[in-house]
Homo-oligomer: A and B are copies of this chain.
Amino acid sequence: MSVIVLGSMAFDKIETPFGKTDKIVGGAATYIAWSASNFTRPIQQISVVGADFPPEELSVLEARGVLLEGVQVNKEKKSFFWHGRYHLDMNTRDTLETQLNALGDFVPVVPPSYQGADILMLGNLAPAVQLSVVEQLTERPKLIVLDTMNFWMETAMPDLEKVLKKVDILLVNDSEARQLSGQYSLVRAAREIMKMGPKRLIIKKGEHGALLFQEDHVFFAPALPIDEVFDPTGAGDSFAGGFVGYLDSTKDFSFDGLKSAIIIGSAIASFCVEKFGTTRLRELTRQDIDKRIRQFIELVNFDIALV
């Protein structure tokens, strides 16, 4: 069992209505690795950090079964940095500052030892970087999952179109699905996007849950209603990490298998938002996770006698 994870490892500075942080460790690949390693090991990480990235952060990931051979350390630069502020609704945010730093000239290199992985998780990065990793794999993984964002649709659409043709599942949020497809209805958006390459599509709707589309099938996973979302940063990446980690443990890539994996992803994301950054993800036990999955089952379970 193994999953390759591509994505940023970085610093975030976060302001929410509930408080603010100094620079804390974040980045898509960080959240994905913390989440996926609850279900499968090793996680084969591909990323780049700067000279300022704390070595102890790498050590704790290694202790979780995260292989770092594919993580470059650029000693001449700092790590990627994002500073953002969430609005009162916690669904929208302003970017106050972005420093690409080491990520600016990142050329990913897939270590030979990573070849043969079953799943490739392409975290949100420039589509050209994502494509490069796909092309370096001598054997196509059984499942390639792609995360992307509106920024790349606006600035790198030709590259994004190429990556889309190479992947099995696309993960986007509802506004990105609408932007990518030019359709307001999510059902129509899904139909258009599945013509672009991926045979399956997951549309994340934040506090409104997530939809899975495959051919004419739809599955809806709710988000757990939470007293107060404390920090949404990394929720989408935690979802992705739980999703691919669980799939790597079951190897069931059928529609039913994906449904279960989406519930797992939603459960992990529901933990992520309870504290700043990766704090909550670091504390999770398998018992915590199972308890939360029971809550999901209770949340949507119903029984109707049909005539």
B299, A184: Cβ atoms closer than 8 Å: no
- Give Cα distance in the complex from A306 to B306, angstroms: 29
Query: Which residues of B are found within 8 Å of A259, using beta-carbon distances?
Result: 301-303
Q: Which of B219, B304, B306 contacts A302 (CB 8 A)?
A: B219
A263 CB–B CB distance under 8 Å: yes
- Give Cα distance in the complex from A212 to B242, angstroms: 27
Given A89-B184, A294-B306: A222 touches B225 (CB 8 Å cut-off): no
Q: Closest Cβ of chain B: how far from A173's Cβ, in Å?
A: 13
A114 CB–B CB distance under 8 Å: no
Give the residue name and chain of the B residue nearest to A295 (CB): B218
A184, B88: Cβ atoms closer than 8 Å: yes
Residue of A209, A225, A260 contacting most chain B CB atoms (<10 Å):
A225
Given A220-B299, A226-B187, A227-B188: A208 touches B205 (CB 8 Å cut-off): yes
Q: Which of B184, B186, B301 contacts A225 (CB 8 A)?
A: B186
Could you mark each residue 30-49 of chain A with 1 if its beta carbon is under 8 Å from any beta carbon of chain B, else 0?
A: 00000000000000000000
> How many copies of this protein are present in the complex?
2
A263, B188: Cβ atoms closer than 8 Å: no
Query: Which residues of B are found within 8 Å of A297, using beta-carbon distances?
Result: 304
- Give Cα distance in the complex from A188 to B227, angstroms: 6
B225, A260: Cβ atoms closer than 8 Å: no
A120 CB–B CB distance under 8 Å: no
A193 CB–B CB distance under 8 Å: no
A290 CB–B CB distance under 8 Å: yes
A167 CB–B CB distance under 8 Å: no
B89, A225: Cβ atoms closer than 8 Å: no
A293 CB–B CB distance under 8 Å: yes
Q: Which of B89, B188, B208, B298 contacts A209 (CB 8 A)?
A: B208
**A residues adjacent to B (C-beta < 8 A):** 88-89, 184-188, 205, 208-209, 211, 217-222, 225-229, 256, 259-260, 262-264, 286, 290, 293-294, 297-304, 306-307
Q: List 13 A-B contacts (CB under 8 A).
A: A88-B184, A185-B229, A187-B226, A188-B228, A208-B209, A259-B301, A259-B303, A260-B304, A263-B304, A290-B307, A294-B306, A297-B304, A300-B300
